[in-house]
Amino acid sequence: MSSRTGPQGPIYPGTCRRVPPPGDRSLSIRLITDQARITFSDRFAGPVDQNLAFDVGDYVIHRSDGFAAYQLAVVVDDHLDRITHVVRGADLLYSTPRQIHLQTLLGYERPAYGHLPIVLDDQGRKLSKQDKDRPVSADEPLPSLLAAWEFLSQPTPEWTLQTTDEFWAFASKNWNTSSLTIPEYNLLDSQSKQN
């Protein structure tokens, strides 16, 4: 079987779907995604529609090292914590249909989802603490808050905000989701649209 590429990399071609490979080595467990089409409305990105079987393929729910895979772990965690709203970076939008698929199979409530633009450096790399990018100062968070506000294309205050409290008071009254610049996320390619 040949491998295709989807929004998040190679699509599993089903190599071991029916017959596991020989040997005693530890194996991962994949969830078969036949006929799994997931649609939802993202608070910021809008309508999302993904054919899991075509765009992702069977996905890992239990890793070969014995741990639950990210998709399953986050779904169970959110359920146990009674999470009702998930707001995170747009880089995780493509994971959401798999999480909704698992929530449905497990009989869990579906949280509301909102995916915001992520901040990139000048090389197009996501800013991240794990990559040693500079954190928001706990002592002086206002400059970072103002930079994030501007990055999210939010309205500029008519006066200079001097304190974090002033920022939050202004931000809570002036937050405008229609100002957000979210890339269009159409998770279906031309072939899966025909199905």
**Per-residue pLDDT tens over the stretch 143-182:** 889 988 888 888 888 888 899 999 999 999 998 888 777 6
Helix/strand/coil (H/E/C) assignment for every residue in 64-115: CCCCECHHHHHHHHHHHCCCCEEEEEHHHHHHHHHHHHHHHHHCCCCCEEEE
Query: What pLDDT score does 2 carry?
Result: 57
The fold adopted by the segment(s) 4-118 is: Rossmann fold (3.40.50)
Domain boundaries, given as residue ranges, for the chain: 4-118, 129-175
**If DSSP codes are grouped into helix, strand and coil, which group holds residue 192?**
helix
Q: How far apart are CA 34 and CA 12, in angstroms?
A: 13
Residues 6+ apart with CB under 8 A from 114: 42, 43, 44, 85, 86, 87, 88
Whether 187 shows a pLDDT value over 50: the answer reads no
Q: Pick the residue with more confidence: 184 or 124?
A: 124
Q: Across the chain, what does the average pLDDT equal? A: 84
- What one-character DSSP code corresponds to residue 148? H
pLDDT value for 182: 65
Task: Centre a 10 Å sphere on the Cβ of residue 130 and count the other Cβ atoms it contains.
Answer: 6
Q: Which pLDDT score, from 0 to 100, does residue 21 have?
A: 74
Cβ within 8 Å of residue 22, ≥6 positions away: none
